[in-house]
Amino acid sequence: MTNFLQLAKERFSVRNFAADPIENEKLELILEAGRVAPTAKNNQPQKVYVIQSPEVLGKIRSVCPCAYNAPLVLAIGYDKERDWQNNLMPGYHSGETDAAIVCTHMMMEAWDLGIGSCWVGWFNADEVHEALGLPANEVVTALLPLGYIASGYSASANHAAVRPASETIAYL
């Protein structure tokens, strides 16, 4: 396993995938990384849909221009009936945060296995929900196209651009 900070710095968003399928063993490790991710009160409201059939991939590609022809897309969301609700912050539900943590775990595990991904949030949630035929109590918050990186593709020019710590970290 790679040093985590090195892994975090090397990982970049992939928007051009090879057609090669992801091996089942690697997919299972990626899914396991999401399954063990921490969630509020350990309620585990996450829902992860593995989209790999040509039919359902076609549906996702028709409603989301950012699937990047990946051979597999994960739809990550949560069950509104399982997420934690903070009574000290009325209206706050943990589902979206929990789903984001799950997505991050899977994205980083994928990279460690040599598989690229791109966190996608640019889609109409209602259209994705309908395309996948999900129950009313579930919400999709991210799509994660996964696959091997196409030959010759590399990180975007602004990948290494990081704001100074003084702009993002404050000591109190």
41-52 pLDDT per residue, tens: 999 999 999 999
Q: Taking each helix axis from N to C terminus, what angle separates 95-112 and 24-35, rounded to the nearest 10 degrees? A: 140
> Could you report the per-residue pLDDT of 137-168, keeping only the tens digit for each?
999 999 999 999 999 999 998 998 999 999 99
Task: Give the CA-trace dihedral at 133, 129, 76, 157, to 10 degrees.
Answer: 130
pLDDT at 9: 92
pLDDT at 14: 97
pLDDT at 1: 53
pLDDT at 57: 97
Q: Where are the beta strands (DSSP E) in the chain?
A: 46-51, 72-79, 116-117, 138-147
Counting as low any pLDDT under 50, the low residues of the chain are none
Which residues, in sequence order, are bridge partners of residue 13?
117
- To the question of domain 10-150 being in CATH 3.40.50.1820, the answer is no
pLDDT at 59: 97
Distance separating alpha carbons of residues 79 and 81, to the nearest angstrom: 5
pLDDT at 2: 60
Distance separating alpha carbons of residues 83 and 93, to the nearest angstrom: 6
